[in-house]
Chain A
Amino acid sequence: MEKMLLNIGPSHPAMHGTIQIKVELDGERIIKADVEIGYLHRGFEKTAEHRTYMQVLPYTDRLNYVSPLLNNLAYAMAVEKLLGIDVPPRAKWLRMIFGEISRITDHLTCIAPVGMELGAFTVFLYMIKAREFLWNVLDATTGARLTTSYIRIGGVKADVPENFQDLLKKALQETRKAVKDVHGLLSKNPIFLKRTRDVAVVSQEEALSYGFTGPVLRSTGYYYDVRKAFPYLYYDQVDFEVPLGERGDNYDRYMVRMKEIDQSIRIIEQSLEKMEKGPVRSEDEVVEAYEAIKASHEGKYLDGKLKLGPNLEGMEKEVYYQIMAKVPQYILPPKEDLYRTMEGMIRHFKLIMSGHGLQPPAGEVYVPVEGGNGELGFYIVSDGGDRPYRLHLRAPVFSIMSALAKMIEGHYIADVIPTFASINMIGGELDR
Chain B
Amino acid sequence: MGLDQEIEKEFSLERIETADDIPTYYCEKEELLPLMEKLKKDFEILLDITAVDYLGKREKRFEVVYLLLSLTKKLRLRIKVKLDQGEKVSTLSFLWKNANWLEREVYDMFGIEFEGHPDLRRILLYPEFKGHPLRKDYPLKKSQPRIELLRPERE
Q: Quick one: which of A390-410 are within 8 Å of B by CB? A: 390, 392, 394, 398-399, 401-403
The smallest C-beta distance from A128 to any residue of chain B, in angstroms, reads: 30
Q: Is the CB of B50 within 8 A of A379?
A: yes
Whether a CB of chain B sits under 8 angstroms from the CB of A248 is no
A7 to chain B: closest CB distance in Å?
16
**B139 nearest CB across to chain A (Å):** 10
Q: Which of A115-123, A190-198, A360-368 contacts B (4 or more CB under 8 A)?
A: A360-368
Contact between chains at B124 and A365 (CB < 8 Å): no
Rounded to whole angstroms, the CA-CA distance of A52 and B67 in the bound complex is: 26
Given the interface pairs A81-B20, A366-B78, the reply to whether A377 lies near B47 with Cβ below 8 Å is yes
Q: How large is the interface on B (under 10, 10 to 19, 20 to 34, 35 or more residues)?
A: 35 or more
Q: Decide if A13 is an interface residue (CB 8 Å cutoff).
A: no
Q: Is the pair B22, A208 in contact by a Cβ cutoff of 8 Å?
A: no
Contact among A37, A377, A389 with B48 in the assembled complex (CB-CB below 8 Å): A377
Binary CB contact string for chain A from 44 to 59 against chain B (1 if under 8 A, 0 otherwise): 0111001000000000
Bound complex: CA of A112 vs CA of B23, how far in Å?
A: 41
**A412 interface residue per 8 A CB criterion:** no
User: By the criterion CB–CB under 8 Å, are B47 and A211 in contact?
Assistant: yes
Quick check: is B53 within 8 A (CB to CB) of the other chain? Answer: yes
Q: Does B76 contact A (CB under 8 A)?
A: yes
Flag if B20 contacts A399 (CB, 8 Å).
no
Interface-located stretch among B6-14, B83-91, B92-100, B145-153: B92-100
A46 CA / B136 CA spacing, docked (Å) = 9
B19 touches A364 (CB 8 A): yes
Q: Mark A212-235, 1 if CB is under 8 A from B, else 0.
A: 010000000010100001100000
| B76 and A206 contact, CB distance less than 8 A | no
Say yes or no for A304: interface residue by CB 8 A criterion.
Answer: no
Q: Among the listed B69, B76, B124, B140, which residue makes an inter-chain contact with A38, where contact means beta carbons less than 8 Å apart?
A: B124
A375 an interface residue at 8 Å Cβ cutoff? yes
B97 touches A402 (CB 8 A): yes
How far apart are B13's CB and chain A's nearest CB, in angstroms? 17
Partner among B19, B44, B105 whose Cβ is within 8 Å of the Cβ of A365: B19
Residue of B18, B45, B76, B140 near A364 (CB, 8 A) is: B18
Contact A403 B57 (CB under 8 A): no
Residues on the B chain within 8 Å of A84, using CB: 19
Say if the beta carbon of A209 comes within 8 Å of chain B.
yes
Let me know if B67 and A403 touch, CB within 8 A.
no
CA distance A47 to B71 in the complex (A): 33
A210 within 8 A of B: yes
Please classify how large the interface on chain A is, using the bins under 10, 10 to 19, 20 to 34, 35 or more.
35 or more
In the complex, chain A residues whose CB is within 8 Å of the CB of B67: 366, 379, 394
In contact, A211 and B125 (Cβ under 8 angstroms): no
- For B100, B102, B123, the residue with the greatest tally of chain A CB atoms inside 10 Å of its CB is B123
Q: Which single member of B46, B69, B97, B122 contacts A403 (CB below 8 Å)?
A: B97
Instruction: For the complex, give the distance between the alpha carbons of A402 and B101 in Å.
Output: 6
State whether A43 and B133 are in contact (beta carbons under 8 Å apart), knowing that A38-B124, A230-B74 are contacts in the complex. yes
Complex contacts, A399 vs chain B, CB 8 Å: 98, 101-102
- Closest chain-B Cβ to A65's Cβ sits at a distance in Å of 18
CB-based contact A229/B71 at 8 Å: yes
Query: Is A431 on the interface with B (CB-CB < 8 A)?
Result: yes
Within 8 A of A (CB), among B35-50: 44-48, 50
Q: A229-B74, A366-B76 are in contact. Are A392 and B98 (CB under 8 A)?
A: no
Task: Please give me the 5 A-B residue pairs with the lowest Cβ-Cβ distance, nearest first.
Answer: A38-B124, A402-B101, A211-B98, A363-B19, A365-B20
Instruction: Give the interface of A toward B (CB within 8 A).
Output: 37-38, 41, 43, 45-47, 50, 81-82, 84, 206, 208-211, 213, 222, 224, 229-230, 361, 363-367, 375, 377, 379, 381, 383, 389-390, 392, 394, 398-399, 401-403, 431-432
Known: A38-B124, A366-B67. 13 other contacts (CB 8 A): A37-B123, A45-B109, A47-B140, A50-B140, A82-B19, A209-B96, A211-B45, A211-B46, A213-B45, A379-B48, A379-B67, A402-B100, A431-B124
